[in-house]
C-alpha cells in the first residue's frame, strides 16, 4: 500500500502528458519526462511518494518494455528489398559506433553515449527504456537521453523532407527511405513522411518498422558485451525477464497468434505504462544533472544524428537512387 501514492502521482502525470502532447509537437513520452522534472524539482514530492515513484520507474517500465514486443512483426522485412534491409542494418551499426567514438571527443561517459546512440539508431525512447538496465545507467541519464532524442526527432520532422527533396533531389520513395532510416520515433516518421507524399509516408513507415526489429539483436549483443568484467573474464549474466517477455510478445504479431484488436489493446497498455514509468524517471532527475551534462549530451547526440543523416543520404544516393 505504501507504493499507491507515488504510483498514483505517476499515473496522473502520464495522463496529463498524453493530453498535453495533443497540443505540442513532441510525443507524450518526452512530455512525461519534462513534467516529471518540473514537478520533482519544483514541488519536491516527499517520502510519501518515494516508494511508488521507484516502483513506477523500475517495475512498470519493465512491464511496458515486455509488452512493447507486440509492436514488432518480423514478417515486415519481406516488404523491403535486400538492399534496403542492408542499409537499415548498416546505419544502425554506424550510428551506435559513431556515438562511442564521439564519447571521447565530447568527453561524455561512454554508457551515456551508448544510450544516446541506441536511441538515435533504433527507436528513440523505447530503445532507451529496453536497454538502460543492461547498459547500467541511472535515471538521470535515461531521462536526459529521452528528452534529447525526442527533441532531435522533432527538429528532424521538418528538416528531413527538405534535405531529401530540395537539397538532394530524391524521389518520394527515396525521401521516405531517408526519413524512415533516420528519425527516432514512429510518430515522427509518419508525420514527416506523409508531408512529402503517400509513397514517402508508406516507405518511411515500413523502413522504420524494420529498424525497430533491430532492437532484439542489439539487446542480445549488449547482454553479451556487458557480461564481461573489466578484466575480460566472463561472468554469468541472466537475461532480464522483461527482455524474455519482449521477445515472446514479438511472436504474437509475427505469427498472428492474437486478433488485431487484442494486439492493439496490448500495445495501448504498453504505451500508457511507458509514459507512467517515464514520469517516474523524470521525478528523480535533478536540474543540477541537466545543467552538468545536458549541453554535452545534446552536442554529441546532435552530431550522431548528423552522421546518421549523412550516411543514409550517401548510401541512398550512391546505391539506391
pLDDT digits (tens, 9 = 90+) for 96-117: 999 999 999 999 999 999 999 9
pLDDT at 236 > cutoff 60: no
Q: How many CB atoms lie within 10 A of CB 239?
A: 12
Beta bridge partners of 234: 228
Q: What is the DSSP letter of 240?
A: P
Alpha-carbon gap, residue 243 to 55, rounded angstroms: 18
Burial of 59 (0-12, 13-18, 19+ CB in 10 A): middle
- Residue 234's φ and ψ, nearest 5 degrees, are -80, 145
Where does the pLDDT of residue 302 fall: very low under 50, low under 70, confident under 90, or very high at 90 and above?
very high
pLDDT at 162 > cutoff 90: yes
Domain boundaries, the chain: 71-263+286-320
Alpha-carbon gap, residue 242 to 63, rounded angstroms: 7
CA distances from 208 to 85, 162, 180, 222 (A): 11, 19, 5, 21
pLDDT at 167 > cutoff 70: yes
pLDDT at 23 > cutoff 50: yes
Amino acid at each position: 500500500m505504501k507504493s499507491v501514492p507515488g504510483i498514483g502521482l505517476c499515473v496522473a502525470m502520464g495522463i496529463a502528458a498524453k493530453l498535453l502532447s495533443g497540443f505540442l509537437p513532441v510525443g507524450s513520452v518526452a512530455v512525461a519526462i519534462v513534467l516529471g522534472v518540473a514537478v520533482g524539482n519544483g514541488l519536491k514530492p516527499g517520502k510519501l511518494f518515494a516508494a511508488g515513484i521507484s516502483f513506477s520507474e523500475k517495475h512498470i517500465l519493465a512491464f511496458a518494455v515486455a509488452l512493447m514486443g507486440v509492436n514488432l512483426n518480423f514478417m515486415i522485412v519481406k516488404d523491403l528489398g535486400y538492399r534496403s534491409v542492408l542499409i537499415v542494418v548498416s546505419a544502425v551499426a554506424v550510428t551506435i559506433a559513431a556515438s562511442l567514438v564521439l564519447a571521447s571527443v565530447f568527453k561524455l561517459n561512454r554508457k551515456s553515449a551508448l544510450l544516446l546512440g541506441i536511441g538515435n539508431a533504433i527507436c528513440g525512447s523505447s530503445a532507451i527504456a529496453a536497454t538502460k538496465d543492461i547498459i547500467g545507467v541511472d535515471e538521470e541519464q535515461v531521462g536526459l537521453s529521452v528528452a534529447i532524442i525526442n527533441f532531435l526527432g522533432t527538429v528532424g520532422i521538418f528538416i528531413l523532407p527538405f534535405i531529401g527533396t530540395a537539397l538532394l533531389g530524391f524521389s518520394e520513395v527515396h525521401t521516405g527511405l531517408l526519413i524512415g532510416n533516420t528519425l527516432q520515433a514512429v510518430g515522427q516518421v509518419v508525420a514527416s513522411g506523409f508531408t512529402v507524399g503517400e509513397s514517402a509516408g508508406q516507405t518511411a513507415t515500413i523502413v522504420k518498422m524494420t529498424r525497430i526489429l533491430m532492437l532484439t539483436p542489439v539487446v542480445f549483443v549488449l547482454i553479451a558485451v556487458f557480461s564481461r568484467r573489466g578484466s575480460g573474464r566472463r561472468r554469468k549474466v541472466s537475461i532480464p525477464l522483461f527482455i524474455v517477455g519482449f521477445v515472446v510478445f514479438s511472436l504474437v504479431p509475427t505469427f498472428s497468434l492474437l486478433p488485431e484488436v487484442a494486439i492493439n489493446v496490448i500495445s495501448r497498455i504498453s504505451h500508457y505504462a511507458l509514459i507512467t514509468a517515464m514520469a517516474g524517471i523524470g521525478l528523480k532527475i535533478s536540474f543540477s544533472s541537466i545543467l552538468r551534462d545536458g549541453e554535452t549530451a545534446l552536442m554529441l547526440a546532435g552530431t550522431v544524428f548528423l552522421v546518421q543523416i549523412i550516411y543514409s543520404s550517401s548510401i541512398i544516393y550512391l546505391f539506391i537512387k
